[in-house]
């Protein structure tokens, strides 16, 4: 079970599914990095992690405890799976679809636009956190028609 070192690498993309759910694998990567003391400038249990935890009924601190004490990735997976299994495929599909298409609002939008202007000022087609984080982490984000 390798620790994640987010001072050297990026966590998984928001879009990448773990146990069929977007954002969850990214949260796990950040949790592993936090458990090993090398989370860098990332935050575990940030608002985006909170959203997926809330959807599943997971408590961030408890999840972090499981990550810290697990002997294997299978143990972490077994813990998370019990929450995922309470959701129907339709609920999961809806969550995934809405999460990756959700555009920031209010204060979050100001922060979003500032970051986008730093990362890729020409990419006004990028309007979601999922896409912007991918861009920021040097992943390919296909251009979308505005």
Rounded to whole angstroms, the Cα distance separating 36 from 20 reads 26
6 domain-assigned: no
| Residue 145: predicted pLDDT | 74
Residue 36: CB atoms within 10 Å: 15
Per-residue confidence band for 146, with pLDDT thresholds at 50, 70 and 90: low
Residues 126 and 88 grouped into a single domain:
no
Rounded to whole angstroms, the Cα distance separating 53 from 39 reads 19
146 domain-assigned: no
DSSP string, 99-136: HHHPPP-HHHHHHHHHHHHHH-TT-TT--SHHHHHHHH
12 domain-assigned: no
Of all residues in the chain, what percent carry a pLDDT higher than 70?
A: 98
Query: pTM for the full model?
Result: 0.92
Residues 39 and 92 grouped into a single domain:
yes
14 domain-assigned: no
| Residue 4: predicted pLDDT | 85
Residues 62 and 116 grouped into a single domain:
no
Its domain, for residue 111, covers 106-136
Per-residue confidence band for 2, with pLDDT thresholds at 50, 70 and 90: low
Question: Is residue 33 within 8 Å of residue 40, measured between CB atoms?
Answer: yes
């Amino acid at each position: 079970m390798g620790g994640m070192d987010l001072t050297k690498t990026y966590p998984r993309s928001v879009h990448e599914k773990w146990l069929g759910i977007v954002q969850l694998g990214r949260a796990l990567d950040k949790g592993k990095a936090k458990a090993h003391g090398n989370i860098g400038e990332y935050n575990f249990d940030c608002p985006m992690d909170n959203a997926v935890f809330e959807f599943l009924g997971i408590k961030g601190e408890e999840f972090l405890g499981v990550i810290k004490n697990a002997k294997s990735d299978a143990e972490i997976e077994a813990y998370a799976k019990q929450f995922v299994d309470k959701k129907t495929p339709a609920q999961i599909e809806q969550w995934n679809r809405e999460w990756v298409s959700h555009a920031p609002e209010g204060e979050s939008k100001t922060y979003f636009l500032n970051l986008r202007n730093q990362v890729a000022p020409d990419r006004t087609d990028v309007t979601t956190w999922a896409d912007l984080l991918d861009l920021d982490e040097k992943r390919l984000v296909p251009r979308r028609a505005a």
